Structure 1
Amino acid sequence: SLDPAGGVPPLCKAWIAAGRCARSGCPYAHAVPEGASIGSVRYEWVQQRRAQRIMRPSTEGDTVHYTDKQSAKRRAAVFCDWLRATFPSQLQRGVIDVAGGPGGIEVKS
């Protein structure tokens, strides 16, 4: 099992990726379960890591679920909507975006 719940240490990421670990005294597992192939174990390990990475917030304190996150272009539009709602009178003179990047909102007045 790849789950350390039963007292079995998790797999060594260097070993699972390269088939060897240069770390002396590495506390992680360096063997596949009986009857399993390294390929199937590696595939399962990668799938578990991807699932964990998706569920883990990328920023500490981030409470937005990954399925509710927006693309960079959509985030720029959400930010513009927030600016309009928060600073309506100040925006009558326009806004200059100095952050750059491919977010992509440019409105000139």
Structure 2
Amino acid sequence: MKFCPNCEVKLKKSDSGLQCPKCDYVEGGISKKTKKVIEETESEFNVLAENEGEEALPTIKIECEKCGNDEAVWWMLQTRSADEPTTQFYRCTKCRYTWRNYA
């Protein structure tokens, strides 16, 4: 039983000798080199910029801690483990101050 010197995976018999199934290392034959092309895909999860998409967020009547304005937009995120409640974020519509409530 032989193992690959590169990735330490057990070598398997193939037409060209003993071959590593992981990195294509070949022992006792002609090795073929291949390049793996990894394509980057754009994530489905979007983080909003400071002003982007805010008009789509719901508003709530709550007093701003900084300026006293009584309206803010709000959203919720799971910032801690799944067995704990979500964190509520608020942003004042007047002064743009952001604060959170750990509910």
Q: Which has the higher contact order (CA 8 A, sep 6+)?
A: 1
Which structure has the highest strand share of the two?
2
The structure with more helix, counted as a fraction of residues:
1
TM-score higher than 0.5 here? no
TM-score by length of 1: 0.30
**TM-score (ref. length: structure 2):** 0.31
